[in-house]
Amino acid sequence: MRMITLSDIPARGGSPMTPAMALFMLALATAPFWLPAVGLYQYLGIEVAIWLIFALGFNLLFGYIGLHSFGHGAYLGIGAYAFGLFQQEIMVSLWGGLLAAILAASLAGAVVGAFLSHRRGIYYALMTIGFGQIVWFCAIKLHGVTGGEDGLLGIPRPDLVVGPIRYSLADNYSLYWFVAAILALVVVALWRLVNAPFGRVLQAIRQNETRARFVGYNVWLIKWLTFILSTAFAGLAGGLFSMAQEGAYPDVMSLHQSGLIVMMVLVGGGLVSFWGPVLGVILYFVARDIIGGVTETWLLWFGLMFVIMVITRPEGLAGLLHVVGARLRKKSAPGAVPVRKEA
């Protein structure tokens, strides 16, 4: 069977109101009410929401334009440190800190992207590993700035200030609402972006870079901008992450973590669907908590699951759902061509 890709699932320009979007928003809005009931906890919701921002931004680069970065944890880390340093050195401010996180990460992304954007394929992936390792290494060695391997500790959670309203984010419940609101904005913005002509250009570059250049697109510029955009989202996620953890630690920058985000996006089906990263991130965190509650070697089982997934269904969960859905629709349609059982 031919593998399906993002381009096989038709884009729906215009209104972002689709069933999947409605389901997602519903889950996001009701999570605090049912999370404890199913045996999970509030902080998990925050963690998942933050990683969703990271993963969705990452998939712009990974799934849509097809550039495989294996060092993206670095920009999450830069965002986290920038947020922390802003709180500690300049002033305690939520918007200022988040802005600093986004700017720092996208600035780093702009510099690194300038080195990367005329490459593709394996050399692109290898260069991102190289740069990711440099950032991670500096975070560990620059004790004076980053606190070395211990990380930056005691980062405050600043109050949310909108005009005259001041709202404390100190407890996990209110922080969840804040992160969820940002995630909702990010999802709608990214949805519009990938279904706009820009998203089509990204996919054209993934399918055939040379041809996209012949059509007249400035491929280098678009690759560079996409990299910066994805690092900006990583920075935003990092800022929120340091707020949730009340600290910034170098381990999110390691190759291991950067590999895990690739794994999440791929298992969920980021190559196939906009919603792939969402499924992947949720699967990862739920697996971590549920399998991790049973056995300490949960990564063994998650790794095995991942290996089996790559062997049998490399399009990931979203691809699986798409294939199953397409088959069900065919079956129920009257007069449809009978579907072969195996395929």
Partner 1 sequence: MIELIPHIVNGLTLGLLFALIALGFTLIVGVMEVINLAHGALFALGAYLAMTTIGGDWFGSSEFGVWWRELPLSTRYALGVVAGPLLAASVGMVLELCLRPTYGKPPLYGLLLTFGAALVIEELIRLIWGTGEQSLAVPRALNGAFFMGGLIFSTYKFFAAGFAIVAIGLVWLFLERTPYGATIKAGAHDSEMVRALGYDLSKLRLLVFGFGAALAALAGVVMAPIWGLRPHIGIDVIIPAFLIIVIGGVGSFWGAVLAALLVGLSVGITGAYAPAWSMLSMYLLLIAIVGFRSRGLLGRKSALEN
Sites of contact with partner 1 (CB under 8 A): 3, 68, 115, 118-123, 125-127, 129-131, 133-134, 137-138, 141, 254-256, 259, 262-263, 266, 297, 299-300, 302-304, 306-307, 310-312, 314
Task: Please give the structure tokens belonging to residue 187.
Answer: 């999802």
- We find the least distance from the C-beta atom of residue 144 to partner 1, in angstroms, to be 13
Compute the distance between CA of residue 117 and CA of residue 221 in angstroms, rounded to an integer.
8
Q: Decide if 109 contacts 228 (C-beta within 8 A).
A: yes
- We find the least distance from the C-beta atom of residue 134 to partner 1, in angstroms, to be 5
- We find the least distance from the C-beta atom of residue 314 to partner 1, in angstroms, to be 5
- We find the least distance from the C-beta atom of residue 56 to partner 1, in angstroms, to be 19
The DSSP 8-state label assigned to residue 337 in this structure reads P
Q: Which is nearer to partner 1, 192 or 213 (CB)?
A: 213
Task: Please give the structure tokens belonging to residue 59.
Answer: 């998939």
Q: Decide if 42 contacts 32 (C-beta within 8 A).
A: yes
- We find the least distance from the C-beta atom of residue 220 to partner 1, in angstroms, to be 14
Q: Which is nearer to partner 1, 242 or 258 (CB)?
A: 258
Q: Which is nearer to partner 1, 51 or 302 (CB)?
A: 302
Best CA proximity match to 6, nearest among 55, 64, 68: 64
- We find the least distance from the C-beta atom of residue 250 to partner 1, in angstroms, to be 14
Q: Decide if 123 contacts 68 (C-beta within 8 A).
A: no
Q: Sort 216 into a burial class: Cβ within 10 Å, 0-12 / 13-18 / 19+.
A: exposed
Q: Which is nearer to partner 1, 92 or 110 (CB)?
A: 110
Q: Which is nearer to partner 1, 148 or 156 (CB)?
A: 148
- We find the least distance from the C-beta atom of residue 126 to partner 1, in angstroms, to be 5
Q: Sort 80 into a burial class: Cβ within 10 Å, 0-12 / 13-18 / 19+.
A: buried
3-state secondary structure of 213: helix
Instruction: Please calculate the CA angle 233-238-240 and round it to the nearest 5 degrees.
Output: 100
Q: Which helix (H) or strand (E) holds 327?
A: helix 316-332
Nearest-10 Cα torsion for 182, 183, 185, 186: 120
Q: How far is CA 175 from CA 48, 59, 70, 82, 158, in A?
A: 13, 25, 30, 19, 10
Compute the distance between CA of residue 298 and CA of residue 290 in angstroms, rounded to an integer.
9
- We find the least distance from the C-beta atom of residue 341 to partner 1, in angstroms, to be 20
